[in-house]
Amino acid sequence: MLHVTSEIGRLRKVLVHEPGREIDVMVPAMMDELLFDDVLFGDRAREEHAMFRRVLQLFEVEIVEARDLLVETLADPEARDWVLEVLLRETAPALRERVEEASEEDLAAILVTGVREPTSRTGVDVADLFAVPPLPNWCFQRDPQIVLGDGVVFAAMAAPARHREALLSRAIFRFHPDYAAAPVIHDPLQPLPEHPLYLDQHRPRLEGGDLLLLSPEVIVVGHSERTNATATHALARSLAHRLDGPRWMIAVEIPRRRAYMHLDTLITRVDHNEALVFPPVILPGGHESASVCETDLYDPDLKTTRREDLLSALKIRGIDLKPIPCGGKDPVQQQREQWTDGANAFALAPGVITLYDRNVGTAEELARHGYRVLDAEDLLLGRNEVDLDDDARVCILIPSHEMSRARGGPHCLTHPLVRS
């Protein structure tokens, strides 16, 4: 079962992946290609991720581990054949027998952790070190798919280092017995009749961090480093005239900068009437203010109207959000904390959010707006309590020394499967 129509509905079930051996085998020469800004200390990153998961469990959220789903999916012979058909196109001939004969658990490890080249190889490039490269970004489960309503939209990852993640997502949602019945709303890699072939920069790119579900009627998409207009226009055609889908798609053109890799690094909704934002891009008058346009998905011609800014566009559609600046009011602190995912909060319920603890200025700003700021450890040890049914407004700070250096916050690490 899938059901998600907002960013803040009570979280019931969520998809995550604990960073595994795939982050332990990274070397500096791999970082650019694999989209990391540092080599992580894996044990510490896993400790931080485990505490995050324990916080979710404290609020009775069902946690689904993506690797478990993959192993269970590969037990289906049809799914296994489908995955191998794609994987073997890029696998060295010497590995074919090993891959074909691997158990489900071993094949899942090959797909996620990769396969080292023989130790006699002395190069430093990814191809020198790995016959099958690792997937260190797979902990960011926000991106390979988008659960929209009761169905799924598949991603088309921008960077070659993440292409296999989209393959794994398709395998899980096409073949796993818990999710195979969910309708596929859109697959950007399925050529449309009028566009039988995509070339280079026109190839669709669509990643989950660039799509926010603001209400059952309104979705917001970011045109960013990772998502392009080719993909969002195709998505609009797939969503057009669906009575069970959104009416309005608002597109936000954000600067193509590494710091702003996805829209959810610049804005996340935290309550019915509030959002964490990075002011220079999201608010009008900022030195990099995003351009915004709105598409009526019920219009036969998919009519598009330009809007002044994102928040005013949302207000027209009945979503009136007060901006809370990540980093507070200091422009230097805003830039520092946007980089460490200060605008990338993840809501467990309206007004109850998780945030990386290193974003001190953001936490202080939330406190000024009436949020009670708590450390995850204090909550888990019973020194503080939160009742989701008493309209609490709470920010729970998650340890982030290592995970923040992977350039993805709590919103990036999670993919809601069910919200109420």
CA angle 323, 327, 377 (to 5 degrees): 105
The amino acid that residue 316 corresponds to is I
d(CA 5, CA 419): 7
DSSP 205: -
d(CA 99, CA 190): 27
d(CA 158, CA 126): 18
CB 276 within 8 A of CB 342: yes
The tokens for 129 are 């070190």
The tokens for 244 are 């069970």
The owner of tokens 């660039």 is 210
From the list 245, 38, 70, the residue with the least C-alpha distance to 173 is 70
d(CA 222, CA 249): 10
Whole-number CA gyration radius for the chain:
21
Query: What pairs with residue 372 in β-bridges?
Result: 394
d(CA 274, CA 282): 13
The catalytic residues are 412
Q: Is 173 helix (H, G, I), strand (E, B) or coil?
A: helix
DSSP 400: -
The amino acid that residue 289 corresponds to is S
Distance from first CA to last CA of the chain, Å, rounded? 12
3-state secondary structure string across 51-120? HHHHHHHHCCCEEEEHHHHHHHHHCCHHHHHHHHHHHCCCCCHHHHHHHHHCCHHHHHHHHHHCEECCCC
Torsion angle of the four alpha carbons 15, 222, 148, 233, in this order, in degrees rounded to the nearest 10: -140
DSSP-derived pairing of the beta strands 322-325 and 274-277: parallel
